[in-house]
């Protein structure tokens, strides 16, 4: 599974009694930057309107119609103002297009040495008028950190990438479908959630009982071509630590085939799986390797039917285009208050590890028998930066809440089993206070990229969730 190119609709604002030659230069510059950053673009051409810009009602109608024709392709809109720009034309375009996707407002900076009537932009002022109109039209939008920015600067390019992440999250979560495989484990009240609140944000939950999953597994012959292909994929995914129990790899392969068939049939974007401990007691393996393989292929899979954990994993995956994992806030690490150990049993995607192996799940094995607990992915997480996020439905207050931030996995070793990493998070203790005081779960989604800004913009501005950005 791959992530398609992010495509933006480009609006070049113009205003006739300002220097309109700046629109031609500005449009060409912005198109060059977008191409260099890997974005697809839908925009008017100089054959459609003067310089491919908009400054009238007729221009707005042409641009809105163009965007509507490409509605399935567009992930966001970039409004750029090489001069003051016509605020009504910009606002009318967005109102008529009615795409409900993120909008990024950019203004070119003036050059203090070119302030005559021939070259003066006044975009500094025009941006305020555009934003005023968008507020009147109730169109949410995203601003650059500096009021005006050179589009070729590294700072703007970085913010453009953040906006791209925001667009992918908004586009991907709107209409997202999450699969719940099995019932919530009885011992995990912490992962309770509201399907109705998620549905109100456009996120649907599809369910299947473990009884049905095991029934479908039992119908698969050992010689089934899909089963043989999945078995070969598991054997090539990671080496085994020692000899697996007889039949364990085949059970994992059949379980993987059933999950693949179900997720394809319902076009699911992510899953959350019942593990503790029905899978081990009544089937004889842990689902971790299959879940790891799903997450590695950009189809996030969360433990313990943690649907909101899967939503957070999906949000991070959409923002980053890289696999996400679900971890426990698990241990303090020595006396440094900014260090902790993030851990799971584990089903972490293979790319998270320095190296990994398939092994026994020691925690569950102690209660259901070690021979019934094979199939975890064990190893230390590779060092490097990461973004963490948690989504939770606050049923009492009728809202969805989230927190997010960034940290770094260290090279530090730790005497641990499962999948683990020692993490440094600035002001960790205040984050832990926030988690506990607000009743967030002990699970946290993690992605090995830095995308907190784009994810925050999507969830807080375009979904209107209650989002805390730590640090």
| pLDDT tens by residue, the chain, 471 residues | 556 899 999 999 998 777 788 999 999 999 999 999 999 999 999 999 999 999 999 999 999 999 999 999 999 999 999 999 999 999 999 999 999 999 999 999 998 777 666 778 899 999 999 999 999 999 999 999 999 999 999 999 999 999 999 999 999 999 999 999 999 998 889 999 999 999 999 999 999 999 999 999 999 999 999 999 999 999 999 999 888 999 999 999 999 999 999 999 999 999 999 988 899 999 999 999 999 999 999 999 999 999 999 999 999 999 999 999 999 999 999 999 999 999 999 999 999 999 999 999 988 888 899 999 999 999 999 999 999 999 999 999 999 999 999 999 999 999 899 999 999 999 999 999 999 999 999 999 999 999 999 999 999 999 989 999 998
Looking only at the bridges linking them, the beta strands covering 384-394 and 443-447 are antiparallel
Backbone phi, psi, residue 288, to 5°: -60, -45
Q: Return the sign of the alpha-carbon dihedral for residues 165, 166, 171, 177.
A: positive
Which residues are bridge partners to 329 per DSSP? 342
Q: What is the largest CA-CA distance in the chain?
A: 82
Burial letters for 358-390: b for 16+ Cβ neighbours within 10 Å, e otherwise? bbbbeebbeebeeebbbbbbbbbbebeebbbbb
Q: pLDDT value at position 1?
A: 53
Say if residues 143 and 156 touch (Cβ distance below 8 Å): no
CATH fit for domain 7-173, picks 3.40.50.280, 3.40.50.10940, 3.90.1300.10, 3.60.15.10: 3.40.50.10940
User: Would you kindly state where each structural domain of the chain is located, as residue ranges?
Assistant: 7-173, 177-469
Confidence (pLDDT) at 4: 84
Cβ of 119: how many Cβ atoms within 10 Å? 14
User: In whole angstroms, what is the distance from residue 75 CA to residue 469 CA?
Assistant: 24
What residues have CB less than 8 Å from 319, skipping those under 6 apart? 165, 166, 168, 169, 387, 447, 449, 451, 454, 455, 458
Is the whole model's pTM more than 0.85, yes or no? yes
Spell out the CATH class of 177-469.
alpha beta
Whether the CA torsion 132, 133, 136, 138 is positive or negative: it is negative
Judge whether 86 and 95 are in contact, CB under 8 Å: no
| Contact present, 301 and 392 (Cβ < 8 Å) | no
Specify the pLDDT at position 16.
75
Angle at the Cα of 306 (from 305 to 307), degrees rounded to 5?
95
Rounded CA-CA distance 409/272 in Å is: 25
Backbone angles phi, psi at 336, to 5 degrees: -75, 115
Can you give the length of the chain in residues? 471
Tell me the two tokens of residue 335.
Answer: 């006396």
What angle do helix axes 87-97 and 57-69 make, rounded to 10 degrees? Answer: 30
């Amino acid at each position: 599974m791959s992530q398609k190119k992010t495509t933006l609709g480009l609006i070049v604002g113009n205003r006739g009694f300002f220097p309109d030659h700046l629109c031609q230069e500005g449009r060409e510059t912005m198109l060059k930057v977008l191409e260099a950053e890997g974005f697809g673009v839908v925009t008017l051409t100089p054959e459609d309107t003067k310089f491919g810009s908009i400054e009238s009602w007729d221009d707005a109608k042409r641009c809105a119609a163009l965007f509507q024709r490409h509605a399935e392709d567009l992930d966001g809109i970039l409004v750029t103002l090489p001069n003051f720009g016509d605020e009504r034309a910009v606002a009318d375009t967005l109102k008529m297009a009615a795409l409900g996707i993120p909008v990024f407002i950019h203004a070119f900076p003036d050059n203090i040495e070119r302030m005559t009537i021939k070259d003066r932009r006044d975009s500094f002022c025009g941006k305020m008028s555009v934003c005023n109109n968008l507020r009147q039209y109730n169109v949410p939008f995203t601003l650059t950190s500096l009021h005006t920015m050179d589009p070729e600067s590294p700072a703007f390019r970085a913010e453009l990438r953040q906006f791209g992440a925001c667009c992918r999250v908004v586009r991907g979560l709107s209409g997202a479908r999450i699969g719940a495989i099995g019932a919530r484990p009885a011992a995990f009240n912490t992962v309770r959630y509201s399907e109705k609140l998620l549905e109100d944000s456009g996120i649907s939950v599809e369910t299947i009982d473990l009884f049905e999953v095991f029934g479908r597994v039992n119908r698969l012959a050992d010689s089934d071509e899909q089963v043989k292909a999945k078995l070969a994929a598991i054997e090539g995914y990671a080496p085994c630590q020692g000899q697996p129990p007889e039949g364990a790899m085949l059970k994992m392969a059949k379980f993987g085939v059933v999950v693949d068939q179900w997720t394809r049939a319902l076009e699911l974007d992510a899953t959350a799986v019942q593990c503790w401990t029905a899978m081990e007691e009544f089937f004889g393996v842990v689902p971790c390797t299959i879940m790891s393989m799903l997450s590695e292929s950009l189809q996030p899979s969360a433990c313990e039917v943690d649907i909101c954990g899967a939503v957070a994993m999906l949000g991070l995956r959409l923002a980053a285009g890289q696999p996400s994992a679900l971890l426990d806030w698990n241990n303090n690490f020595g006396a440094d208050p900014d260090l902790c150990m993030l851990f799971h049993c584990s089903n972490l995607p293979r790319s998270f590890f320095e190296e990994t192996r398939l092994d026994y799940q020691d925690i569950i094995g102690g209660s259901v028998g070690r021979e019934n607990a094979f199939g975890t992915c064990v190893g230390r997480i590779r060092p490097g930066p990461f973004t963490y996020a948690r989504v939770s439905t606050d049923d009492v207050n009728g809202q969805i809440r989230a927190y997010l931030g960034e940290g770094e996995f260290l090279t530090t070793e730790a005497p641990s089993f499962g999948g683990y990493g020692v993490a440094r998070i600035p002001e960790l203790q205040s984050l832990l206070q926030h988690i506990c005081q607000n009743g967030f779960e002990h699970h946290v989604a993690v992605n090995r990229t830095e995308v907190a800004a784009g994810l925050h913009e999507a969830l807080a501005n375009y979904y209107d969730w209650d989002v805390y950005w730590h640090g």
